[in-house]
Amino acid sequence: MEEKYINKEIIGRIILVIEVLDGIKETVNYPESFKIRIYKNKEYEDYPQHWHTAFEIIMPVENTYKAIIDEKTYNLDMKDIIVISPGTLHQLFAPPGGYRIILQVDYSVFSDIKELKSIFHMFHPCVLITASSMVHIHEELSSLISDITAEYFSTLRFREASIYSMILRFFVILGRNCTDRKNKLSNIKNKKWPEYIEIFIDVCNYINDHCTENIKLDNISKVAGFSKSHFSRLFKQVMNISVTVKPRV
* Burial category of 72 from C-beta neighbours within 10 Å (exposed 0-12, middle 13-18, buried 19 and up): exposed
Q: pLDDT digits over 73-104, tens only?
A: 999 999 999 999 988 899 999 999 999 999 99
Does residue 125 lie in a domain region? yes
Model confidence pLDDT, tens digit, residues 142-170? 999 999 999 999 999 999 999 999 999 99
User: What is the tens place of the pLDDT at every residue in 101-123?
Assistant: 999 999 888 878 877 776 677 78
Which residues face 15 on adjacent strands? 9
From the CB of residue 165, how many other CB atoms can be counted at a distance below 10 Å?
13
Q: Which residue has the higher pLDDT, 82 or 177?
A: 82
Specify the number of domains making up the chain: 2
CA–CA gap between residue 116 and residue 110 (Å, rounded):
7
* Residue, of 168 and 219, whose pLDDT is higher: 168
Considering 130, 159, 178, which residue would you say is the last residue of a domain? 178
208 in the same domain as 169: no
- Whether residues 100 and 169 share a domain: the answer is yes
pLDDT at 189 over 80: no
Give the CATH number of the domain where residue 42 resides.
2.60.120.280
Mean pLDDT of 50-56: 90
Top-confidence residue, 21 or 196? 196
Q: Does 189 lie in the same domain as 162?
A: no
Residue 235: pLDDT band by 50, 70, 90 thresholds?
confident
pLDDT score, position 13: 30
Query: What pLDDT score does 240 carry?
Result: 57
Residue type, 199: I
57 plus 111 within the same structural domain = yes
**Domain range enclosing 57:** 35-178
Residues 205, 136 share a domain? no
pLDDT reported for residue 55: 94
On whether residue 246 sits in a domain, the answer given is no
- Indicate the average pLDDT of the chain: 81
| CB contact at 8 A, 122 and 181 | no
> Do 121 and 84 lie in a common domain?
yes
Alpha carbons 26 and 48: distance in angstroms, whole number: 10
